[in-house]
C-alpha cells in the first residue's frame, strides 16, 4: 500500500463557473485557472501521482499547453488514474477536504463522491468528501480563493 497527498488552490473570480468535484455549484463566482480550475479534482490527481511517484499534475498537464486550456478536470483525473494503473497500481481510497467559506457544499457532496469514484473506477464508499471553513482567516476566510487537500492510498494491481 502506498499513500499520497495532494493540495491545490485557485482564486475566486467573477465570470467563471464554480466547479468542484466535477459538479457545477451555483454561485456568483468561479475559480480562475487554465483548466476548469476544479481544486478538488486537482488535489486528488496530485495525491494519486504522488503515491505512485509520478510527479505532479503540472508536469503531466502544463498550464503552458493550449491543449489543456478549459479542460474538464474529470478527464484529467481519468488520465491520471490510467497513468497510475500503467505504473502497476490501482486506487484504493481517497479522503478530500475542501476549504471555503461559501457556498455550502453539503447538498453537492453525494454527486462529487460519485464523480470521483467514477474517475478512479473504484467503489463510491471509498471516496470521502468534506468541506470546512477557515473561520474567516486567511485567503479562504476572506473569500479570495478555494483550497482542497486530498490523501489517497493505492495498492499494487
| Average of per-residue pLDDT across 114-118 | 98
Tell me what pLDDT residue 63 has.
82
pLDDT of residue 68: 78
pLDDT over 90 at 70, yes or no: no
Give 41's pLDDT tier (boundaries 50, 70, 90).
very high
Q: What is the pTM of this model?
A: 0.96
Sort 26 into a burial class: Cβ within 10 Å, 0-12 / 13-18 / 19+: exposed
The residues, ordered by sequence, that sit 6+ positions from 126 with a Cβ below 8 Å of its Cβ are 91, 92, 93, 94, 117
Non-local (6+) Cβ contacts of 2 within 8 A are: 51, 52, 89, 153, 154, 155
Amino acid at each position: 500500500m502506498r499513500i499520497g497527498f495532494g493540495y491545490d488552490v485557485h482564486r475566486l473570480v467573477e465570470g467563471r463557473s464554480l466547479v468542484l468535484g466535477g459538479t457545477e455549484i451555483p454561485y456568483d463566482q468561479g475559480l480562475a485557472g487554465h483548466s476548469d480550475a476544479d481544486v478538488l479534482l486537482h488535489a486528488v490527481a496530485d495525491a494519486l501521482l504522488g503515491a505512485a511517484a509520478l510527479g505532479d499534475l503540472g508536469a503531466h498537464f502544463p498550464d503552458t499547453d493550449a491543449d489543456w486550456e478549459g479542460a474538464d478536470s474529470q478527464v484529467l483525473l481519468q488520465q491520471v488514474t490510467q497513468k497510475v494503473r500503467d505504473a502497476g497500481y490501482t486506487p484504493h481510497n481517497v479522503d478530500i477536504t475542501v476549504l471555503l467559506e461559501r457556498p455550502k457544499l453539503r447538498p453537492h457532496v453525494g454527486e462529487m463522491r460519485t464523480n470521483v469514484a467514477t474517475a478512479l473506477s473504484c467503489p463510491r464508499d471509498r471516496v470521502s468528501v468534506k468541506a470546512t471553513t477557515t473561520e474567516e482567516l486567511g485567503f479562504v476566510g476572506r473569500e479570495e480563493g478555494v483550497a482542497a487537500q486530498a490523501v489517497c492510498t493505492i495498492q499494487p494491481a
